[in-house]
Structure 1
Amino acid sequence: MEFNSFPVSTAVDFFRGLESSALNGITPGSTIDTALDIGNLDREFSFRDSVSPAEPLDVFSFSLRGTGTLAIDLQSLSADADLYLVRDFNGDRLVNNNEIVAASERAGNASESIRINNLVPGQYFVFVSQYQGSTSYELKISADVWQSSTINSFSPLYGFGLVDARAAVGMALGQSLEAVPDRSSDVPSNFGDLNLIDVPAVWERGITGKGVVVAVLDTGVDINHPDLKDNIWVNLGEIAGNGIDDDGNGFVDDRHGWDFGDRDNSPTPGRERGAEHGTHVAGTIGAKLNGITTDNRGNRVEVQGVAPDATIMPVRVLGGRFGNTADALARGIRYAVDNGADIINLSLGAGMNSPVLRSALTYAEERGVIIVAAAGNDANRGATVPSFPARDAALVDVGIAVGAVDRDVNIASFSNPAGTVLGEFPFVVAPGVRVLSTLPGNRYGTLSGTSMATPHVAGLVALLLQANPNLTPSQVENILIATSRNPALLA
């Protein structure tokens, strides 16, 4: 069942009466007022019942006293039923899509499963919903709770705070990293942003993102830029220019990635407005650590990526005849996953959720690929939560959402906040105001946006994966949450 498919009035009636209730019988009710109240979830809860067209909904409630990992399984199905975790964030006794914390909607009689790391204390509701036919089921709910003091406090503006590369990589290594002096330059540089998130201390340990592949799904990347060309991904299974799909991946001559905007093997920028965006993002992630360079006009500049030895996989999904669609983005995500990306940078946003896009994001997460997505630039237009696909970090526990701050760690006026209605989820901030980086044609320039903040975090994740290649997406999220700094506490 997709809640987006309900008319608003139907969805409201369907979930009417959302608040705490006591157990009035041994069977779950169809509203929260008659829900089966499990109480504090301090042990595994198991329950058997059934749903049918006549009685399509069973509702359970439980309380979580500390932050922890939640597991919910719906098994032994003979027909299609779906599973939802809900929290009434605004207390209005109604549920909208933003209050669906997680969902599992597999087809047919496949078992449903929800896993959430770092679920915060509070009261939650589990909905078992009939979709097609009648079925009995077995529901299991359990939680592994740890002390909430180990997790940073969550801010509606900053989420868990400003990322800290030195602390994060130290946690991944299981040891502390020594502080080093801030880097500086006599020419225009991006060292101010790198110093802000303590990147140079990680470089001092020889950790530069080497061996980690970061896919940049964007407007294309200038693969010949002097600061990028040595870090561009090469498909070793493909012979360039022979017109043959040598590696059998379905893409002919994709030596350096793929262009889903024009459906060809040249994932470089087009001529449309904003085409430099992807090259700028790529530079923040992986511009080479090569000192002062000279641009196409003879100006001296020094730009270095957070992970200057990471490999950049260009995938163009914005621009061209077929770009700027959920289908192009979903295809780009699957291409990146299938061709060896470890991290996918999504410095982009969509106006609404798309099932095809969410399926691709889940495809990546299930295969251990880490999604880092921009929160959006609509705060000045009233946005109170991240845009899609970053919002799926909250709704379906896929990816890391990133907001933008300036050099003084003030939230950028344009940056969508973490908000309050989605609860706590992987949301961090990074530099995103007047960020200096690479532009096509051996140029350099400054851009602002959560699009500029996101590659700082993607680059940091590359450092984490070099430090500890066995980290899972959830472990990376946990490290970022535990080590990010509350801006209110920064000197």
Structure 2
Amino acid sequence: MRQYFLLAALLCSVALSAQTETPKNWWDLDRESDNYPGVSAQKAHNYLAGKKAKKVVVAVIDSGVDIEHEDLKDVIWTNEDEIPGNGIDDDRNGYVDDVHGWNFIGGADGRNINYENLEVVRLYNTYKAKYNNRNRDGLSKKEKKEYDAYKEYEKIVTDKMAEVGPQYEQYKAIQEGIKSIVAKTGKPIEKVTAADVAAIKDKDMMTTRIQGVVANATTNGATVQELYEDLNGAVEYFASQAEYNYNPDFDARNIVGDNPGDLDDRNYGNSDVTGPDAGHGTHVAGIIAAVRDNNLGVNGVGGAKVEIMSIRTVPNGDERDKDVANAIRYAVDNGASVINMSFGKGYSPYKKAVDAAMKYAEKNDVILVHAAGNDGKMLTLTNNFPNDTYQGKKRTGKTWITVGAASAFYDENLPASFSNYNKKMVDVFAPGRDIYSTIPGSEYASFNGTSMAAPMVAGIAALVRSYFPDLKAKQVKQIILESALPVNLEVTKPGSEETVKFSDLSATGGLANAYAAIKLAERTKGKNRKAGKRDESLMMY
């Protein structure tokens, strides 16, 4: 599932987001010279000015990318061996007209999946077909294990369906109430103030309730319009959960026309790399590679020689293991040297297929960067997938990096409240809150999530590989982790009110930094480094 941090889920978060204004490009800035804990990309590019760089392709496995966006169209990867639109697999790689990437959640007839079930619902349906109306007694040991899992999944799905329906109705009622109140003021919503709302005398129970909601949300600076837009997001979120994500009767896979359990099948989908909802993927792509210094929008971390390959794999719902595995293989086979994966889910029935693809990427010298997730919890090997540990093994991927999300506040609020964490399983933190980047239609917006933090690191990896092409993927990973700037702060642990050391939230205990990574890469120049050995001279650059 796309790892958005949905502010609309809690109305109080509208007020939180408005507490402190930060510059839109804060994540590009430097902690020492600009007083913002960004990735120091501007400083890195200033240092690299005039130096030679080589092309680096970054695969964005996501919801799709708007390849015509004004700030991205010049950095979109093009398959030079494919003739656009001729309906022929010119390069004989198994994918027809894959000019800018591939879409694994589309059909040969051009249709595309937008919404999907969550994996728990797919597992529930699978076991329901086998165990519905059966009794646990008399089952084999293996069947009893499956039966118990079926009952667990059944409870999750039933409980969530009973929960999200009323939530959808609640938020929809508040949304309609605000719309009604705005109409009573006689002003366009962008001009309506909290005082206007409070001044309405024609009250009923709903009006009184809405006045309270508006007063609460606007106390710390949020506007009525921002509240309304956030409610739109909440309504859409809970509607999609009720109608698609947790709905056992919904099945979109017939659009693709494949057997999702046939893991040997790789040649399906279509060439539409944008799809019906490319907001998330376009935002991610902009962080990595939006054209720098062109007087448009944002400056991507990666630089002028970085290109984006769009591999559409992630719907509004949970991605399928088969698609993820095939997306990784497609990226590797078609020249990507960095892969960004801003998605995750709670179950992985075909994890071995994804593991095999991870090994394939590592064998072919490709870096995989993955978002830690937005549940405000400690990661384990069983609560977030994909992860870097191979099923049934202790061995982990050597070119895999897991990224947590940081905010612009260099204080107790530095770790984003939604970010997942783990001293061993999360490698490093990077900016992931209030991240301004590209969205479809040549527009721009601020998103929150570890989905935004991962492409910061993918951009750093691409930058290092571009200017130091002789470095291997394992070396680049080491450089990124060893050059992470340490944080000596007591912070609020995500998802709680507990105070912990920032260093307890990830393996490095630090923030990824492009400038420090470049300086360390310059010193390394192809030499082998001992993993975990930090260069003390880089701690303050």
> Aligned-pair distance for 1:243?
0.9
Distance 1:363 1:324, change over 3 A: same
Match of 2:455 in 1: 455
Match of 2:384 in 1: 387
Q: 2:336 aligns with which of 335, 338, 341?
A: 341
Hey, what's the Cα distance between the residues in 1 that align with 2:56 and 2:67? 17
| 1:321-377 Cα distance to aligned partner (Å, 9 max, x none) | 9x8201011111100000000100001113234111111111101100110111111
TM-score normalized with structure 2 length: 0.50
Hey, what's the Cα distance between the residues in 2 that align with 1:231 and 1:437? 15
Match of 2:418 in 1: 414
Q: Which has the bigger relative contact order, CA under 8 A and spacing at least 6?
A: 2
Q: Does 1:267 align with 2:109?
A: no
Hey, what's the Cα distance between the residues in 1 that align with 2:444 and 2:290? 11
1:445 counterpart SS class: strand
Distance 1:260 1:366, change over 3 A: same
Match of 2:319 in 1: 324
Q: How does 1:100-249 map to 2 (within 5 A)?
A: 189-195=24-30, 196-204=38-46, 205-206=48-49, 210-249=54-93
Q: Counterpart amino acid of 1:278?
A: G
Q: Counterpart amino acid of 1:198?
A: S
Instruction: Tell whether the 8 Å contact from 2:62 to 2:341 is kept in structure 1 after alignment.
Output: yes
Distance 1:333 1:384, change over 3 A: closer
> Aligned-pair distance for 1:416?
0.9
| 1:449-479 Cα distance to aligned partner (Å, 9 max, x none) | 1100000000000111012112222211211
Instruction: Tell whether the 8 Å contact from 2:367 to 2:477 is kept in structure 1 after alignment.
Output: no
Hey, what's the Cα distance between the residues in 2 that align with 1:288 and 1:190? 14
| 1:249-287 Cα distance to aligned partner (Å, 9 max, x none) | 01011111100010111110314xxx4100000000000
1:202 counterpart SS class: helix
Q: Counterpart amino acid of 1:331?
A: N
Distance 1:251 1:377, change over 3 A: same
Instruction: Tell whether the 8 Å contact from 2:416 to 2:433 is kept in structure 1 after alignment.
Output: yes
Hey, what's the Cα distance between the residues in 2 that align with 1:406 and 1:426? 16
Distance 1:425 1:395, change over 3 A: farther
Match of 2:367 in 1: 370
Percent identical among aligned pairs is: 43
Hey, what's the Cα distance between the residues in 1 that align with 2:471 and 2:331? 19
Q: Counterpart amino acid of 1:486?
A: P
Instruction: Tell whether the 8 Å contact from 1:257 to 1:265 is kept in structure 2 after alignment.
Output: yes
Q: CA RMSD in A?
A: 2.5
Match of 1:177 in 2: none
The count of residues paired between Structure 1 and Structure 2 equals 288
Match of 2:352 in 1: 355
Hey, what's the Cα distance between the residues in 1 that align with 2:395 and 2:419? 19
Hey, what's the Cα distance between the residues in 2 that align with 1:390 and 1:403? 13
Q: Does 1:306 align with 2:306?
A: no
Instruction: Tell whether the 8 Å contact from 1:202 to 1:208 is kept in structure 2 after alignment.
Output: no
Q: Counterpart amino acid of 1:358?
A: D
Hey, what's the Cα distance between the residues in 1 that align with 2:308 and 2:364? 19
> Aligned-pair distance for 1:291?
3.6
Q: How does 1:274-313 map to 2 (within 5 A)?
A: 275-293=278-296, 302-309=297-304, 310-313=306-309
Hey, what's the Cα distance between the residues in 1 that align with 2:313 and 2:456? 20
2:299 counterpart SS class: coil
TM-score normalized with structure 1 length: 0.55
Q: Counterpart amino acid of 1:324?
A: E
> Aligned-pair distance for 1:200?
1.5
Hey, what's the Cα distance between the residues in 1 that align with 2:486 and 2:83? 49
Instruction: Tell whether the 8 Å contact from 1:364 to 1:370 is kept in structure 2 after alignment.
Output: yes
Which sections of structure 1, spanning at least 5 residues, go unmatched? 1-186, 294-301
Hey, what's the Cα distance between the residues in 2 that align with 1:226 and 1:396? 39
2:480 counterpart SS class: helix
2:476 counterpart SS class: helix
1:464 counterpart SS class: helix
> Aligned-pair distance for 1:217?
0.2
Instruction: Tell whether the 8 Å contact from 1:384 to 1:417 is kept in structure 2 after alignment.
Output: no
Distance 1:306 1:209, change over 3 A: farther
> Aligned-pair distance for 1:306?
0.2
